[in-house]
Amino acid sequence: MIAKLYEDKPTLSFEVFPPKKDGEFEKAYEVLGELGKLQPDYISVTYGAGGSRAGFTVELASYIQNTLHIDAMAHMTCVGSKREDLMQVYRSLAERGVDHVLALRGDRPRDMSDEQFASRDFAHASDMMAFLKENTALHLAGACYPEKHFESFSMESDLNNLKKKQDAGAEFFISQLFLDNDFFYNFLEKAQKKGVSVPICAGIMPITSLKQIGTSISLSGSSVPKAMSDLLATYGDDPEQMRRAGVDYAIRQIRDLRENGVKHIHLYSMNRPKTTAEIVAGIQ
Ligand code: FAD
């Protein structure tokens, strides 16, 4: 049970991704061991696009829960899954004592045909949540988007859909990364007006290399404020300076969030213990 969130006490959690190949688990366990020393309230584990390598997510979540004795949350997506696929993953998690799932629709895999996409069992994350709520004992969380989800026509409709996720069983939300806190503050205000009352964790990703602009940031649909583009222009060619500047930016973002009453911080650790440890030290 990710207790502090339900008790409304401040939390700090991390996100990690599972290895891509079977032979890479030792390295992943080493990374987790280092992250575990920072005593996060929980660690979430991402799920391969379209449900690929679901077993890897289960294995890592189990290691977090049973070896590190830190609460684990497994991400699960439904875009490429049938009901029975989800139930199989659920049973594997339950056998290992993992009872929190971040329930996501996921992005349409490139190799999924129009016919497969149109006949998927779950159209939206809220449909998956309603199914899991009815058929499992899982605690469910969902994703939210301070700058709206890229498929939504408006923030208004995205927030209506967010409320549907709460109604379907989401007990808390984790936000997409954002680099300008004002987006998050505006979002919190609007979500509250729509009746979203469960905790919302602020998703913070340290931008420590120029490469992330072409990957994480463009995929997330988040905008890049001038302060960040200035930083990239100044330090982008020097990997260590850029890393330090990115750590510093994340620390300032988190401090500002906390000063403004945001209790729950979810750090996208990118499986980098050193960078994560520096951020944790900087926000004490
Ligand atoms: P949904 O909540 O279904 O929303 C998708 C779109 O449909 C939105 O535009 C929404 O407004 C709309 N919508 C929602 N419900 C309805 C409805 N009832 N009627 C009409 N429209 C509706 N992807 C992975 O593959 N693996 C991961 O591990 C992963 N982890 C993530 C973690 C976080 C914190 C976040 C923010 C995202 C993560 N993603 C992950 C990416 C995510 O799968 C994509 O952003 C995906 O495009 C949307 O997923 P969702 O659960 O938010 O979808």
pLDDT for res 279: 98
Report the run of H or E that residue 112 belongs to, with start and end. none
Ligand 1 neighbourhood includes 124 CB (under 6 angstroms): yes
106 CA from centroid of ligand 1 (Å):
6
Residue 141 makes CB contacts below 8 A (sequence gap 6+) with 73, 100, 101, 102, 103, 170, 171, 172, 173, 174
200 CA from centroid of ligand 1 (Å):
15
240 CB-contact burial (10 Å; exposed 0-12 / middle 13-18 / buried 19+): exposed
pLDDT for res 13: 98
Which tokens is 205 given? Answer: 């990703």
3-state class (DSSP) for residue 108: coil
pLDDT for res 258: 98
Q: How far apart are CA 39 and CA 44, in angstroms?
A: 13
- Cβ contact 268:15 at 8 Å: yes
Q: Is 15 a residue of the active site?
A: yes
Name the CATH code of domain 2-283 (choices 3.20.20.70, 3.40.718.10, 3.20.20.220, 3.30.479.30).
Answer: 3.20.20.220
Residue 54 makes CB contacts below 8 A (sequence gap 6+) with 47, 48, 76, 85, 89
Along the chain (284 residues), what's the average pLDDT of each consecutive run of 10 residues? 92 96 93 98 92 91 98 96 96 98 93 88 97 98 97 97 98 98 98 98 96 84 93 94 97 98 98 98 97
Ligand 1 atom at minimum distance from 145 CA: 36
Q: How far apart are CA 131 and CA 271, in angstroms?
A: 31
pLDDT for res 214: 78
pLDDT for res 238: 95
- Cβ contact 18:57 at 8 Å: yes
Domain locations in the chain? 2-283
Task: Name the residue with tokens 């960078």.
Answer: 275
Ligand 1 neighbourhood includes 158 CB (under 6 angstroms): yes
Q: Running DSSP on this structure, what letter comes out for residue 202?
A: E
Catalytic residue among 15, 59, 147, 278: 15
Ligand 1 neighbourhood includes 143 CB (under 6 angstroms): yes
Nearest CA to ligand 1 atom 53: 105
